[in-house]
Amino acid sequence: MQTNFSLAQLADPHVAESEKILRKCVHCGFCTATCPTYVTLGNELDSPRGRIYLIKHMLENGRPADKEIVTHIDRCLSCLACMTTCPSGVNYMHLVDHARAHIQETYKRPLLDRLTRAMLAFVLPHPARFRAALRLARLGKPFIGLFGKVQALKPLSAMLKLAPASIPAVSPMASPGIHAGQGAKKGRVAILTGCAQSVLDPAINETTISLLTRLGVEVVVPQGEGCCGALVHHMGREQAALASARQNVDAWTRDIEQGGLDAIVITASGCGTTIKDYGFMLRLDPAYADKAARVSALAKDITEYLSGIELPEPVRKPGTVVAYHSACSMQHGQKITRQPKELLTKAGFIVREPREGHLCCGSAGTYNILQSEISAKLRDRKVKNIEATGASIVATGNIGCITQIATAAKMPVVHTIKLLDWAYGGPKPEGVAEDSLIAAE
């Protein structure tokens, strides 16, 4: 694609990066076929190619974002299916990240939208605030229908719908410390405790630590790590995202330098995609560029890590039919497609892949709150495809997808690690009825 940026514009490294990306696009439109918003809305401006044109014009003209571009960029899930499809290697992720930051800097959203976004950015990345908000949400549940009728209050209604009826207790395993591996030491890793996941389902990391230590891997819960920054990054709040990235880079660098780390294990693929991008996000910061690149190189999804170590024979031979839902951040963001399915199969599960597996479930960070109507359509489509597999349980590797799919699916939705842990001798995943694992015993 031909671009027309001035030399003065290209002196801005963010613009220069976006220009490089734009020049790679050959307008072929292959990406439209796999874009969930184009498939759902049928509007070229809600396709990757359409958005690329909008971003190009906004940046080339050096103008503030307007209502049209904000509408179509806000509708983008950042699912990155377009990057998997694109034959020219267009890095849509970095382009849309730049566009979102530009929108945040130059566009004044309506008051309620601003307040909603500010509240999400204030609450979600902080477990204590998020837990308090979920308690408050119980009081708001009776008003879901009422709020849902007012356009500007739809995000509030969506939030209340997503809030779980009960909140698990704080996990003692989330506290900083070292969990020694059993037997001969096979490795040493840090684990990301994360933010929303640690509140909604602390058992995911507890299970991960339990399985890894049984396998002989020492697990460090680093002092000072926090939210990966993905939630605010996707809202265009660049400085907040970079602050989170720096905080985590500092925390992990201490552990890399003190005891060494084979990997930084991540159990939420949405976080994994962002942490693997820290090297890029902090490339212009001389104090952090190298450290961030080292952290990104060490970041591994838990299934990626387990695939690289020797596993014993499973204790159980489940035979349970599992529908594996590949989160977008897993398959498109990190290109991890094989490992989770291979691990489940090796552990004795019968893995089925739903049709249209490349399409997003509509969760996408805060998307199911801010774009609840499109999100619900994508969720229902996803659940229909999952249910058509005939599986009795769904496995996936991202808390956002778990929460989203569970609001509509008839069968339990669990993190992949819980099924693996169970097959390798751990307890039955909490909240999963025996008949969902009926083929097991």
What minimum distance in Å lies between the beta carbon of 259 and ligand SF4?
Answer: 38
What minimum distance in Å lies between the beta carbon of 80 and ligand SF4?
Answer: 5
How many CB atoms sit inside 10 A of residue 134's CB?
Answer: 20
How many CB atoms sit inside 10 A of residue 150's CB?
Answer: 11
Q: Give the residue with the Cβ less far from ligand SF4, 89 or 172.
A: 89
Examine residue 95 and tell whether it contacts ligand SF4 (CB under 6 A).
no
Contact between 242 and 127 under an 8 Å Cβ cutoff? The reply is: no
The residue among 86, 5, 96 whose CA lies nearest residue 52 is 96
What minimum distance in Å lies between the beta carbon of 38 and ligand SF4?
Answer: 6
Contact between 398 and 416 under an 8 Å Cβ cutoff? The reply is: no
Task: For residues 278 and 250, give the distance between their C-alpha atoms in angstroms, rounded to a whole number.
Answer: 12
Helix (H) or strand (E) holding 212: helix 203-214
Part of the chain binding ligand SF4 (CB under 6 A), chosen from 75-83, 231-239, 241-249, 417-425: 75-83
Site map (CB under 6 A) of ligand SF4, residues 323-342, x = contact: --------------------
Task: For residues 227 and 218, give the distance between their C-alpha atoms in angstroms, rounded to a whole number.
Answer: 22
The correct pick among 22, 69, 82, 395 for binding ligand SF4 (CB under 6 A) is: 82
Part of the chain binding ligand SF4 (CB under 6 A), chosen from 19-27, 178-186, 317-325, 336-344: 19-27
Q: How many residues of this chain bind ligand SF4 (CB under 6 A)?
A: 26
What the block records as the tokens of 91 is 């890095």
Examine residue 49 and tell whether it contacts ligand SF4 (CB under 6 A).
yes
φ, ψ dihedrals at 188, nearest 5°: -140, 125
Task: For residues 269 and 275, give the distance between their C-alpha atoms in angstroms, rounded to a whole number.
Answer: 10
Examine residue 22 and tell whether it contacts ligand SF4 (CB under 6 A).
no
What minimum distance in Å lies between the beta carbon of 1 and ligand SF4?
Answer: 7
What minimum distance in Å lies between the beta carbon of 52 and ligand SF4?
Answer: 6
φ, ψ dihedrals at 110, nearest 5°: -55, 150
Examine residue 88 and tell whether it contacts ligand SF4 (CB under 6 A).
yes
Q: Give the residue with the Cβ less far from ligand SF4, 54 or 217.
A: 54
The correct pick among 21, 31, 95, 199 for binding ligand SF4 (CB under 6 A) is: 31
- Cα dihedral sign for 16, 20, 23, 25? negative
What the block records as the tokens of 132 is 């308090």
Part of the chain binding ligand SF4 (CB under 6 A), chosen from 74-82, 114-122, 131-139, 247-255: 74-82
- Enumerate residues 6+ apart whose C-beta is below 8 A from 188: 217, 218, 220, 259, 260, 261, 262
The correct pick among 21, 45, 70, 76 for binding ligand SF4 (CB under 6 A) is: 76
Q: Do the strands 217-221 and 187-191 form a parallel or antiparallel pair, or are they unpaired? A: parallel
Examine residue 27 and tell whether it contacts ligand SF4 (CB under 6 A).
yes
Examine residue 357 and tell whether it contacts ligand SF4 (CB under 6 A).
no
Contact between 72 and 48 under an 8 Å Cβ cutoff? The reply is: no
Nearest-Å Rg of the Cα atoms of the chain is: 21
Examine residue 235 and tell whether it contacts ligand SF4 (CB under 6 A).
no
CA 268 to chain centre: 6
Examine residue 30 and tell whether it contacts ligand SF4 (CB under 6 A).
yes
Q: Give the residue with the Cβ less far from ligand SF4, 55 or 209.
A: 55
The correct pick among 59, 65, 69, 86 for binding ligand SF4 (CB under 6 A) is: 86
The correct pick among 3, 20, 29, 346 for binding ligand SF4 (CB under 6 A) is: 29
Task: For residues 429 and 320, give the distance between their C-alpha atoms in angstroms, rounded to a whole number.
Answer: 14
What minimum distance in Å lies between the beta carbon of 404 and ligand SF4?
Answer: 15
Part of the chain binding ligand SF4 (CB under 6 A), chosen from 88-96, 150-158, 172-180, 270-278: 88-96
Task: For residues 415 and 8, give the distance between their C-alpha atoms in angstroms, rounded to a whole number.
Answer: 49
Q: Is 265 helix (H, G, I), strand (E, B) or coil?
A: strand
Which positions lie near ligand SF4, rule CB under 6 A?
A: 25-31, 35-37, 48-49, 51-52, 76-82, 85-86, 88, 90, 92
